[in-house]
Amino acid sequence: MKVCNRMKIKYSGNFGCRFICPMGGGCPGPNGCTRSNGAYTAKKCTQCGQVHPTTTEYFHKQSAAKDGLTAQCKWCAKKYRKKYSKTITGHLRHVFGSIKQRCNDPNKHNYNRYGGRGIKICFTSDEFLDYVINELKIDPRGLQCDRINNDGDYERGNIRFVTNKVNCQNRFY
């Protein structure tokens, strides 16, 4: 039986682990729930191997998962996102997500400048990646996505990546 140094967790394997209350039971546990015997279910992170209580304090929600939580703990997921966002593919997926939000989400603060004016996205995420990497052949990190024709859609031939200074000169008023 191992004991996690970061938390008072005793476990014997990957599944069926229990969080043991240091007070022996009856005290509030994770998320304020109480159990008379002081035991809470725990889950092992697939990335770092640490065992954490199965709560949303330690794991993100995922409706497709059997227990409703992701396999990676929040700390490992954050490290992965940070590392992935530095790649060209990760950066472009973030850019595409931002474009998609401002064109499709009326609750977004700048929707009226994009989707509200009828500007649409004529790409899927993978098509956008393919277009920028294979046709524009540019490393977009540190640059901003800009439409050449300010009244045109986000489509082939109307997208370029420019510096902030150039992008500020191409504004719609």
Domain positions in the chain: 2-83, 86-169
CA neighbours closer than 13 Å in the CB half-sphere of residue 77: 12
What CA–CA distance (Å, rounded) separates 115 from 105?
A: 8
What CA–CA distance (Å, rounded) separates 154 from 124?
A: 11
pLDDT band at 2 (very low <50, low <70, confident <90, very high): very low
Asked if residue 50 lies in contact with residue 6, where contact means CB atoms within 8 angstroms, the answer is: yes
The share of the chain scoring above pLDDT 90, in percent, equals 47
- In this model, does residue 39 exceed pLDDT 60? no
pLDDT band at 7 (very low <50, low <70, confident <90, very high): very low
| pLDDT at position 63 | 85
pLDDT mean across residues, the chain: 80
Which range is least confidently modeled, 15-19, 124-128, 142-146, 151-155?
15-19
- The structure's pTM equals 0.60
| pLDDT at position 130 | 95
What's the mean pLDDT in 88-100? Answer: 93
What CA–CA distance (Å, rounded) separates 75 from 81?
A: 10
pLDDT band at 53 (very low <50, low <70, confident <90, very high): confident
| pLDDT at position 147 | 93
E-strand ranges in the chain read: 2-4, 9-11, 18-20, 39-44, 51-53, 59-61, 69-73, 144-147, 159-162
DSSP three-state, residue 79: helix
| pLDDT at position 172 | 61
- In this model, does residue 128 exceed pLDDT 80? yes
What's the mean pLDDT in 109-116? Answer: 93
